[in-house]
Amino acid sequence: MKHTDELERIKMEKMKKLLDKTAKNKTQIPQVPINITDADFDAALKKHPLLLVDFWAAWCNPCRVIALIIEAIAKEYAGKLVCAKLNVDENPITAAKFQVASIPTLLFFKNGKLADRIVGAVPRQHIEARIKQLI
């Protein structure tokens, strides 16, 4: 009887550790767009296998429309895709590196490589179609 109790205790401890680890991993998956900068752009590419970067500026009205769509997509595709925002006025190096001349511009990166680009304010369905091609 004592042996069975000990096995049950060990089993419960292992289950608790597994559940804690799963909960921790879920909280690390961004469900809102993350803000990235010139300084941490490369690190974001390495960390997230599928990354959608919204190049925007505060004065850009179409960027505000796209921002709402990106927020919804970040939540819906959490765990499959990470959405990020990069302010072009504050981070001109990355914008220049990827030849972002018009905003909003959405760049899709898969495994650290540029995989697709959308320029301008487009409907959510258009963005989701591109995402589905990359997932």
Query: What would the DSSP string read from start to end of 15-83?
Result: HHHHHHHHHHHHHHS-SSPEE--TTTHHHHHHH-SEEEEEEE-TT-HHHHHHHHHHHHHHHHTTTT-EE
Active site residue 83: no
Token pair, residue 101, equals 């001349």
- The residue to which tokens 């895709």 are assigned: 81
Report residue 32 as tokens: 């809102």
| Token reading at 23 | 């909960």
Q: Which of 44, 51, 52, 63 is catalytic?
A: 63
Catalytic residue among 45, 52, 53, 60: 60
Would you please indicate which residues are annotated as catalytic (active-site) residues?
Answer: 60, 63
